[in-house]
Chain A
C-alpha cells in the first residue's frame, strides 16, 4: 500500500437551517483516506454520515474547511469541474442501487463512460472485463426490474468500476439486501480492495464495518478513529 492520499479533509463543517434553528451536521471533520484503503464510516442514523458521503462524493458542498480528492481542491471547484470529478474520480454504489429502470443492464453499466464522451461500442468493450468478473454477462439485456437485489447491486458495482475511479464510494451497499446477498457483495468489496481499489463504505452496521480494513465512527457530526 502506498501512502498517497486519496481523500484529505480538514475541518469540514456543514450545517442546515431548520426553520429558526441551525443544525450542525458535520463539526470540524478531519478525515484522510490513503490510496488502496478500504475504510468504513460507521454511525447511527442521523449522525451525519450520509452528509459526509455526499460531500466526499462531490454531490454536496461544505460550509467551511478544505477537501482535496487526489490533490484536487474540491472546496474550490465549480459545478462543471465537480461533474467531471464525479464522472472520472468517483464510483458510486448506493443502498437502493439507483439504476435507471428503463435502461438495460448494459446501458446502465456503460452510462458513466458515455457521459465521458465515449461511443457506445468502445464503452461496451471497456466494460467487458468488469462485467464478466461480476458474472453479469448473461444479464446484459435485462432490465433492473428483472434482476434480484444482489444482481442489481452487482450491476451498480459494475457501473462504478467501469469508469476506473480512484475512489469507490458505497453508501450502505448491503442495506437493501438479504444476508447472503449482502455477504456476497462484501466479499466482492474485499476482492476489489485486494485488487488495489480505494473504497469508502458508509454503514450503520458494525458487522458490515468489520469487513473493512479500517473503521472510523461518526457520532453527532464528529468523527472518531476506530470502532
Chain B
C-alpha cells in the first residue's frame, strides 16, 4: 500500500474519532506545554541573570563587614586604627605572592591619616602594634554581647583609608571604590509628601566600575567629594517618579533630609540588578557629602576592588583578607565576587531547568503510556477491521505503519496543541513576574519529543495489530 494512502486512512480514522484523539493526546499536550514553558523559563532565567549582573564587573570583589548579632552596644577598638608615623613592625612585601609577617608584626602604613569615619565611639588609636584596644573591644564584645565567638564582635566601619590600604598593598588591582547606602526622606519635583528613597554615597569612579551610563549631565566628580558639594545623580526610575521625566529632573533641586541638592545628572535605565545598588531606584551623592550631612559615622560601607585579571581573583581575595586582618585582627569580612554570584545564579538556574525538564519528561512518559493504552483498546476495538484489511491483502507493514502513524499523528496533534497552549500560558506567567523567553528551538524540541513519544509508545500496540491472524481477527466479534 502506498504511504500516501496509509496517511489518508490515518487521517480518516483521526477525523472520525476527534474526541478520542483529543483525550488521548492530553498527556502529550501537557508534556509539550511543559517543555516549551520550561525552556522559556530557563532562557528567561538565564537572560535575567545576565541582565541583573550586567552592571557588575566580573573581576569585582565586594568587601563588607557585618557585626555579629548581640555583640553591638559596648565595644572598643571599633574604628579603623589610624597608623601614625612609622611603626616598628616590618612592612609586608606585596610585590610577589602576598605574605603577611608572622608573629606580632603588623604591616605599617606610611604617612599620617585622619581617623577616617569613626564608629562605635572609640576614637582614634595611636598605635596598633599591640592590638590592645582591639583586644579590649573583643573582650567587652564577648562579655556584653553574650557571644562566645571572638570574631566580629567589634563595631567596624570600613573607610576610604582601608580602601587605600588595600589598593596600596594588594597587587593586581585595576581600581577600587567605596560606597554605602542609606534610606532618606526625599521631596521635590512632583512629590507632595516626603518619600523614602535609597541614597548612595559614592566616589567619582563608581559609575565607571558599575558600568553606569548617563542619560543627562555628568556623574559625581572628585571635586564634589572633596568639597562635600550638595549635588546628586538620579537613577532613571527615581527621576521619573520625582520629576515625571529624566529631562525635567536634570538641573532641578531635590531635597534630601531637608537639604537642597542639585541634580547634576540622570542615569540611563540600567535594569534590575542581582547585587550592589539598584541604580534605577537610587539617588547618588558624593561619599563625603553623605557622611557630612546625612549619616555621620552610622554607615556600613562596601569597598569594591577590581582585579585586573579575573583569573587572579582568588589571590586578590586572600590578599585583601590579609591586609584587613592586619588592621582588624578580630574581624572577618564578607568578600564576595560578582563572578561567583553569577556562576551560582546560573548554576541554580540550570538545576531548576533540569528539574523542570525531568518533570516534563515524566509527563511525556505518562502521556506515552496513555497513548499506548488507548491504542491497545483501539486495536482491540478494531480487530475486525484489521482482520478485514488482512483478508483483502493488507500486509503486516501496512497495518504496522497505519497504527504507528496514528500514534504519531495523535502525538503530533497533542504537541501542536501543547505548543500553542504554551503561547497562551506565557503571558499569564509574565503576569506572575516570571520571566520567560519563548523560542523556536523549544517548540521544535516539544514537537520532536511528542513524535518520539508517540512512535515509541505506539509501536508495541501497532506491532501486536500487525501480528493478528486474519481468520482469528475476523471471528473476534
Contacts and interface: CB of A to CB of B under 8 A. Distances in A.
B257 interface: no
List 7 A-B pairs, minimum CB-CB distance, nearest first. Answer: A87-B393, A115-B393, A59-B471, A112-B392, A59-B470, A102-B16, A54-B471
A83 B395 contact: yes
Contacts of A102: 12-13, 16, 385
B389 interface: yes
A58 B212 CA distance: 85
A100 interface: yes
Nearest to A104: B12
A158 B396 CA distance: 24
19 contacts: A59-B391, A59-B470, A83-B393, A83-B394, A86-B392, A86-B470, A96-B477, A99-B388, A100-B388, A102-B16, A111-B392, A114-B1, A115-B389, A115-B392, A115-B395, A119-B2, A119-B5, A120-B5, A120-B8
Interface string A84-121: 10111000101010111111000100011011111110
A84 B392 CA distance: 9
Contacts of A163: 392-393
Given A114-B5, A117-B1, A120-B5, A98 B384 contact: yes
A80 interface: yes
Given A57-B391, A88-B393, A92-B392, 13 more contacts: A54-B471, A59-B474, A86-B393, A86-B470, A98-B384, A101-B385, A102-B12, A114-B1, A115-B1, A115-B393, A116-B393, A118-B2, A119-B4
A103 B385 CA distance: 10
Interface residues of B, number: 26
A159 interface: yes
A60 interface: yes
Given A94-B474, A98-B388, A115 B13 contact: no
Contacts of A96: 477
A79 interface: yes
Contacts of A92: 391-392
The winner among A99, A111, A163 for most chain B CB atoms within 10 A is A111
A87 B395 CA distance: 10
Contacts of A80: 395
B165 interface: no
B398 interface: yes
A194 B398 CA distance: 35
A156 to B, nearest CB: 10
Contacts of B471: 54, 59-60
A159 B393 contact: no
A107 B394 contact: no
B474 A98 contact: yes
The winner among B8, B469, B471 for most chain A CB atoms within 10 A is B471
A199 to B, nearest CB: 17
A60 B471 CA distance: 7
A79 to B, nearest CB: 7
B155 interface: no
B390 interface: yes
Contacts of B8: 120
Interface string B360-394: 00000000000000000000000011011111111
Interface string B175-198: 000000000000000000000000
The winner among B5, B390, B395, B469 for most chain A CB atoms within 10 A is B5
A19 B179 CA distance: 94
A94 B5 CA distance: 25
A115 to B, nearest CB: 4
A98 B13 CA distance: 17
Nearest to B393: A87
A88 B394 CA distance: 11
B10 to A, nearest CB: 12
A80 B398 CA distance: 12
A155 to B, nearest CB: 12
A115 B394 contact: yes
Contacts of B389: 100, 111, 115
Contacts of B469: 59-60
Contacts of A119: 2, 4-5
Contacts of B390: 59, 83, 86
B398 to A, nearest CB: 7
Contacts of A115: 1, 389, 392-395, 398
A80 B12 CA distance: 26
A99 B389 CA distance: 10
